[in-house]
Structure 1
Amino acid sequence: MRLLEGQTALVTGAGGGIGRGIALQFAEHGAAVAVHCRTAVEQARAVAGRIHGLGGRAVVLRGDLTDEDACHRVVRDAAEWAGGRLTALVNNAGVQPVRELAGMTAEEWRTVVDTNLGSVFACTQAAVDVMGEGGSVTHIASIEASAPAPAHAHYSASKAAVVMHARAAALEYGPLGIRVNTVSPGLIDREGLAEAWPDGVRRWRQAAPLGRLGRPEDIGDACVFLASPLASWVTGHDLVVDGGVTARPTW
């Protein structure tokens, strides 16, 4: 069942990892996808190539989403490519540096907030103008929005703000027929993760009731659902996709 047949979507930060999984799942379900990247142009082209291989439509758009004008340009270009209207936006672009508060500079703090939160604000604002009679916006947040990890204060604070932005935007944009939600992933597997962080991967697998790390397509599936007619009465919601880790007791 192709849940997004006829839809046109922009996925930011779609050159790899979670963004790639989202873009490919959208294409699998029939959406035409604008694949955004900042610097990973070849990776984004590879994603678009896979979509073309599925018989779908895709275009690669480049822009630094810490710049408000670039956010508006990327959204505008995506809508023009799609025939004048977007039906879905997934705000996935983000950064996750590791830095303890004691050594963090104001510039480092602002960089994370501008990337993770500022781009969400600007891209969503621009998308509303090209969604016409309604659409869906999904922000990729994190379980760290409510359960921060050490040395992730800037990241966790930005993701908590992303969740609240979605709730506030759901109130304001609902009368326009635009739904706004968040997906909060747990630990998502990627190439080299088990080698780089073996203890963390082992602990996560032990903690997850479902016994595994997440996959990019798990987040893609959640985003497909939220953009589909199956979620037509879902807005202002944070969908946690973490294999059950946050359901565990803390005692």
Structure 2
Amino acid sequence: MPDLTGTTALITGASGLIGGGIARCFARAGAAVVLHHHCGENAARTLAEEITEAGGRATVLRADLLRPEECRRLVEEAAARHGRLDALVNNAGIQPVQPLPDMTADDWQQLQTADVTSAFACTQAAARIMAGQADGGSITHIASIEASQPAPGHAHYNAAKAALVMFARSAALEYGPRGIRVNSVSPGLIDRPGLADDWPEGVRRWGAAAPLGRLGRPEDVGNACVFLASRAASWITGHDLTVDGGVSAHPTW
């Protein structure tokens, strides 16, 4: 694991499965982690206790990322708590399943706001802080392989994840001269308790299509984020790192 001792990382949506996995990886690497939640306070505080008991440092902050002013407050407070902000992981988002013919403009806009506009606002706020630090910082968006491989019922989600990939590249272009690297991580299917019971056929098909023969784990995503935030990735920016067990390499014919 890269050594992130002395750094601070803010993970949005840290009360969820993937966000919690990302936070654990940063904590194991030595970073002080700021755990954002909106409605999952109990989960966030339980995670903070777990990290603290293991010898790490964790802070819990609440914010409604549908409101740009809350995004700015969250980032500024995270930096103020620890004196700096070295890494931001824009993980928060929603993933409803809605057939396109039944989708309303409000449905579409709500997802774009939750998944894309929140990342935009947090990125702007973090970049203002990172630009004033001698060693800049790292920003990572959690996208998805659905950015390039759409799934039925996910038209709004597919579009949002594709937007995040391009937003990372655009931000990398503009923030690079300020010492700020911006990348995205595109996970495949991440396992969760009960998934095999809820979607047995999908899990079976995924396992058959993945060259590595298994579903992803939250720490697979977290390890990729830690790498991108570390000195080992100091010359990597504007890149989308696919973390899918090789499913994207599987032929579609």
Residues of 1 paired with 2:105 and 2:245: CA distance?
Answer: 34
Cα deviation code 1:208-243 (max 9, x no counterpart): 000000000000000000000000000000000000
Residue 108 of structure 2 corresponds to which residue in structure 1? 109
Residue 62 of structure 2 corresponds to which residue in structure 1? 62
Residue 72 of structure 1 corresponds to which residue in structure 2? 72
The question of whether the paired residues in 2 share the 8 Å contact of 1:167 and 1:181 is answered with yes
Alignment of 1:165-184 (within 5 A): 165-184=167-186
> Deviation at 1:117?
0.2
Identity within the alignment, %:
64
Cα deviation code 1:177-209 (max 9, x no counterpart): 000000000000011111111111111001100
Residues of 1 paired with 2:63 and 2:194: CA distance?
Answer: 27
Residues of 2 paired with 1:68 and 1:123: CA distance?
Answer: 8
SS in 1 for 2:36: strand
> Deviation at 1:16?
2.2
Cα RMSD (Å) of the superposition? Answer: 0.7
Residue 86 of structure 1 corresponds to which residue in structure 2? 85
Residue 161 of structure 1 corresponds to which residue in structure 2? 163
SS in 2 for 1:162: helix
Residues of 1 paired with 2:53 and 2:224: CA distance?
Answer: 23
Alignment of 1:97-246 (within 5 A): 97-131=96-130, 132-133=133-134, 134-246=136-248
Residue 51 of structure 1 corresponds to which residue in structure 2? 51
Misfit runs of 4+, over 6 Å: none
Cα deviation code 1:64-95 (max 9, x no counterpart): 10110010011011001012x20000000010
Residue 20 of structure 1 corresponds to which residue in structure 2? 20
Residues of 1 paired with 2:250 and 2:196: CA distance?
Answer: 23
Residues of 2 paired with 1:137 and 1:25: CA distance?
Answer: 16
The question of whether the paired residues in 2 share the 8 Å contact of 1:3 and 1:224 is answered with no
> Deviation at 1:54?
1.6
The code of the aligned residue for 2:38 comes to R
Q: What are the ranges of 5 or more consecutive residues in structure 1 without an aligned counterpart?
A: none
Residue 94 of structure 2 corresponds to which residue in structure 1? 95
Aligned length: 250
Residues of 2 paired with 1:207 and 1:178: CA distance?
Answer: 36
Cα deviation code 1:10-66 (max 9, x no counterpart): 000001211000000000000000000110000001111111012111110111101
